[in-house]
A and B are shown apart, each in its own frame.
Chain A
Amino acid sequence: MITLDRLTKRYGERTAVDGLTLQVKPGAVTGFLGPNGAGKSTTMRMILGLDRPSSGTALVGGTPYHRLDRPLRTVGALLDARAAHPGRSGRAHLLALARANGIPAARVTRVLERVGLATVAGKRAGTYSLGMSQRLGIAAALLGDPEVLMFDEPVNGLDPDGVRWVRELMRSLAAEGRTVFVSSHLMSEMQLTADHLVVIGKGRLLADAPLSRLLAATEVVVRSPHAGDLADRLTAAGLTAVRRGENELVVTGATVERVGDLAHEAGVRLHGLSPREPSLEQAFQELTAGSVEYGVTR
């Protein structure tokens, strides 16, 4: 559980994080969304005690980070993939962190295996690709088997396999009852990973809601020779289906997958099924419009 109470960070005149109050709950993946410069990383750094808040508090499990006795055993975080000394081996990097928090060396080997770096653990971190560095950072986060995990843009630089791996890792960590807080500026990525979304812009909280509620804005276009039957079926499932043309429906409030599944269950043949903008991406853009730090003037 992460608790922020009116958390604020000012750099001179500029307010990077502005009175953020929210809770990140265990057992779920909470996506932390916002355009570049919205204050996501600063917020995470304040939670970790790296930056000092100008006012307000950030607590992890009810305790300020710097009061945690062996913090890596409570909170694991990946802030920056390139945070290992380039001349130090991946194993030594993790071993140093383990030693600082009384974590046995065997655990280092375990997490290296879990992230798939066991074979290159003895190589200097400077020789790692961005994807491998990202995995090393994730290994560091997992090191203390912590209750709370935070990842800042974890899929940056990963190939499609790596992206899927991170997604599954986060889902499984949440399924184990841990608190998983993941930042991203990619709405589409969060759509696949998160249960709950926190959206900020210019340091202010814009939305704090379950994914499904933010998804309500999604529209799915479905074509079927039995559009009428399908519309009844979808309406019965609590969705809104609007007839458009003879065999086309516009469905709001569900994902493509859900609409497809419902059609399958009803035994209705489909000739087309596609998401339609405005989707979550658009909802996100609407939410953050006017708060884009480095936006282009149109």
Chain B
Amino acid sequence: MAAEWVKLRSIRSTWLCLASGVVVSVLGAITLGGAAAMESEHVQATEPVVSVILFSQYAAIALAVLAVTTEYASGTIRPTLQAVPVRGRMLAAKALVVAPVLFAAGVLTGAAAALATYLVLLAPVFRSAPALAPAATAADLLRLGVFHALVGVLAVGVSAALRGSAGSLAALFMATLGLPLLLVMTGVPAAVEVSLRLPTFAGMAFLGSTDNLTGGPLPYPPGEGLAWLAAWTALAVAAGYAVLRRRDA
């Protein structure tokens, strides 16, 4: 694990991903928050931050994907597996380093975005003063951390199975955005039901998002959202492990 931490922090792409996550979150949250504050009297500053995960999650996904696929692209996977020949241990170490890093990133990025939104909404053009209730804010931030950590581990699993950066990112983009939107667009009730349980909507349910693309609160409680998200993550890691064990490095 110490080794994976050295690897993660010693390349620039990690920091670029984290920085771009902050930029997307802050700008996105301010925009959505501003739009909301034009119409409504009460805006909790973390609400737009939660909505913006639809986009900001890709910074976390990219970081996690690159932590795995650059090993294959650069050939580092061979020295890595020479040092840690038990494949499951190598994958676990990656997941266990990516998860806390993204948890912290999720919390801190969320805090920065919420604070920025709060400050912007203080401007007199908006109808009302925004809220940043301590308890609700803290809970939201923790959930944002958990969400980003789980999405990151999911991405580690998928990239261990696919090995290529482009393929992994494309697959994850489809799974987290393309497929759910497609299913919702069909309008078929069963398809919509499935879509709402894919990682992105499950994550939104967990985060208590009321404002989502289906135009209303999700039809199940936050706890179930977390369960679905965790289940998808477990499935991705299992797939990654199966490929890693069977295929030659």
Which positions in A face B, CB cutoff 8 Å?
A: 45, 48-52, 65-66, 68, 71-72, 75, 77, 79-80, 82-89, 92-93, 95-101, 140
Q: Could you say which residues of chain A place their CB within 8 Å of the CB of B248?
A: 45, 50-52
Chain B CB within 10 Å — which of A75, A80, A84, A99 has the most? A99
CB nearest neighbor in B for A89? B10
- Give which listed residue, A48, A72, A85, A95, contacts B70 with CB less than 8 A: A85
Q: Are B6 and A50 in contact (CB under 8 A)?
A: no
B10 contact set on A, CB distance < 8 A:
88-89, 92-93, 95-96
A52: which B residues are within 8 A, CB to CB? 248
* B42: interface (CB < 8 Å): no
Q: Are A72 and B83 in contact (CB under 8 A)?
A: yes
Chain B residues 53 to 92 lying within 8 A of chain A, measured CB to CB, are 70-71, 74-76, 78-86
Interface string of B232-249 (1 = CB under 8 A from A): 000000000000000011
Known: A50-B249, A66-B86. A88 touches B7 (CB 8 A): yes
Inter-chain CA distance A51–B12, complex, in Å, is 31
Answer whether A86 and B74 are a contact pair too, CB < 8 Å, given A71-B85, A97-B3, A100-B3: yes
Q: Which residues of B contact A (CB under 8 A)?
A: 2-7, 10-13, 70-71, 74-76, 78-86, 248-249
C-alpha gap A86/B11 in the complex (Å): 9
With CB as the reference atom, state the residue of chain B lying closest to A101: B83
> How far in angstroms is the closest Cβ of chain B from A273?
45
Q: State A119–B86 Cα separation when bound (angstroms).
A: 34
**Apart from the given pairs A50-B248, A82-B74, A85-B74, 7 other A-B contacts in the complex at a CB distance below 8 Å:** A45-B248, A51-B249, A52-B248, A79-B78, A89-B10, A92-B10, A99-B5
Which residues of B are found within 8 Å of A77, using beta-carbon distances?
Answer: 82
The number of residue pairs between A and B whose CB atoms lie closer than 8 Å in the complex comes to: 87
Question: Nearest Cβ distance between residue B30 and chain A, in whole angstroms?
Answer: 32
- B3 partner, pick from A45, A66, A75, A99, beta carbons under 8 A: A99
Q: In the complex, what distance in Å separates the CA atom of A80 from the CA atom of B249?
A: 13
Contacts of A85 in B (CB 8 A): 7, 11, 70-71, 74, 76
Bound-state Cα–Cα, A75 to B79, Å: 11
- CB of A68 within 8 A of CB of B85, answer yes
**CB closest residue in chain B, given A50:** B249
The smallest beta-carbon distance between B85 and chain A, in angstroms, is 4
For B74, the chain A residues whose CB sits under 8 A away are: 82-86
Contact partners of B86 in chain A: CB under 8 A: 66
Bound form: Cα–Cα A32–B231 in Å: 49
Task: State whether A72 and B75 are in contact (beta carbons under 8 Å apart), knowing that A50-B249, A97-B3 are contacts in the complex.
Answer: no
Report chain A residues within 8 Å CB of B82: 48-50, 71-72, 75, 77
B81 adjacent to A83 (CB under 8 Å): no
Chain A residues closer than 8 Å to B13, beta-carbon distance: 87
Q: Are B6 and A95 in contact (CB under 8 A)?
A: yes
Name the distance in Å between B84's Cβ and chain A's nearest Cβ: 5
Complex Cα distance, B249 from A60, in Å, reads 19
Q: Report the Cα distance A51→B81, complex, angstroms.
A: 11
